[in-house]
Amino acid sequence: MKVIVADDYGMMSKEAAEIVAAEIRKKPDCVLALPTGGTPLGLYAELVRMHKEEGLDFSCVFAFNLDEYIGLPEDHESSYNFYMHDRLFNHVNISRDRIRIPCGLAEDPEEEAAAYEWAIKRAGGIDLAVLGIGRNGHIGFNEPRTEFGSLTRPIYLAKRTIEANARFFQENPDAVPRRAISMGIRTIMNSRKIILLASGVEKSHAVNQTVHGPVTEMVPSSVLQLHPDCTLILDKDAASELEPSPNGFIPGPGIKTMVY
Ligand code: PGA
């Protein structure tokens, strides 16, 4: 597992954007899995800048969201559909028919999830999955105890996740949906390349467990130790609990890369 430690949130976001941009340049019709939440906001702002100032071309890119709440319409301000359009899709030249986000209002969420999993396969599988991480080590909405063999499916959110996400429902924090459709652990692990972003000291424990902990379904992100091409991109606070790498590190300007 490779760990990039950036001096601050801005540099973390730029590092992540460089990796996403490199993937798009290498394979213009690459398939991305994309997260929501507070952490990737800087990444999306940087990708929008790269599109506007450097001509980064999203026209052939396929984008699959990691997850979506069940029960919210697409145009609800707290839906992940709204978030992705507001933060990224409305500002780059991605083709609308290459965007896939689970439908939160699907009559049959099981069927919607199975169709979503199938759509990922039909697109050729995920080339690059971008992940955030919950304080409990969740990735996507795969909460502790999720089976490593899980595929896209409807899930129940953990209490801690509902509390953490209440900040995105300011008008009514009690309105956080209790369910979502999420890519599964196996869906994510099938990606050819994975990057995980984490910022802030409140993520440091989960990050430590991801890198050093036993691989256990109690900490979903620990499964990433088993992926052949996974890079964690952290700011200093998120990296603050990590042991120094026995393999040393490669320093760069404001960045150091460790290999575990
Ligand atoms: P955050 O969420 O980026 O808002 O902290 C990350 C996650 O819960 O996966």
For residue 10, the model assigns a pLDDT of: 97
* Residue 65 designated active-site: no
State the distance from the centre of ligand 1 to the C-alpha of 208, rounded, in angstroms: 16
- Please tell me the predicted confidence (pLDDT) of residue 250: 67
Q: What is the pLDDT of residues 31-52, one digit of tens each?
A: 999 999 999 999 999 999 999 9
- The whole-number pLDDT of residue 182 equals 98
Is the pTM higher than 0.75? The answer reads yes
Q: Which residues line ligand 1 (CB under 6 A)?
A: 37-39, 132-134, 138
Q: Which fold has domain 10-203?
A: Rossmann fold (3.40.50)
CA–centroid distance, 10 to ligand 1, in Å, is: 16
- For the segment 142-171, the average pLDDT, to the nearest whole number, is 93
Domain boundaries, the chain: 10-203
Mean pLDDT of 99-127: 98
d(CA 198, CA 9): 9
Are 194 and 224 contacting, i.e. CB atoms less than 8 angstroms apart? yes
Question: Which one is catalytic: 23, 46, 127, 136?
Answer: 136
143 is catalytic: yes
Residue 64 burial by CB count (10 A; 0-12/13-18/19+): exposed, middle or buried? buried
pLDDT digits (tens, 9 = 90+) for 139-150: 999 999 999 999
pLDDT over 90, % of the chain: 87
Ligand 1 centroid to 174 CA: how many Å? 18
User: Which of 34, 39, 67 to mutate for ligand 1's pocket (most ligand atoms within 8 Å of CB)?
Assistant: 39
Q: How far is the CA of 162 from the centre of ligand 1 (A)?
A: 11
What pLDDT does 253 receive? 66
pLDDT category of residue 7 using cuts at 50, 70 and 90? very high
Of 67, 112, 127, 235, which is the active-site residue?
67
Taking the alpha carbons of 162, 227, 203, 205 in that order, is the dihedral positive or negative? positive
Banded model confidence at residue 157, pLDDT cuts 50, 70, 90: very high
pLDDT of residue 259: 82
| H helix and E strand count, the chain | 7, 12
SS3 call for 97:
helix
Q: What was the pLDDT predicted at 185?
A: 98
Specify whether 67 is catalytic. yes
* Per-residue tokens: 96: 């609308």
Identify the pLDDT of residue 43.
98
The atom number, within ligand 1, closest to the CA of 200 reads 5
Q: Using an 8 Å Cβ cutoff, are 16 and 247 in contact?
A: no
In this predicted model, what pLDDT tens digit does every residue of 196-223 receive, in sequence order? Answer: 999 999 999 999 999 999 999 999 999 9
Is 174 part of the annotated catalytic residue set? no
Tens of pLDDT, residue by residue over 89-111, are 999 999 999 999 999 999 999 99
Give yes or no for residue 251 having a pLDDT over 90.
Answer: no
The 10 Å Cβ neighbour count of residue 207 is: 26
Going by alpha carbons, the residue nearest to atom 8 of ligand 1 is: 134
**pLDDT at residue 244, as a whole number:** 78
Tokens 């890369």 found at: 257
Give the pLDDT confidence score for residue 144 in this predicted structure.
96
Instruction: Give the 3-state secondary structure of residue 104.
Output: coil
Q: What is the mean pLDDT of residues 172-192?
A: 95
Query: Which structure tokens are listed for 210?
Result: 């991801």
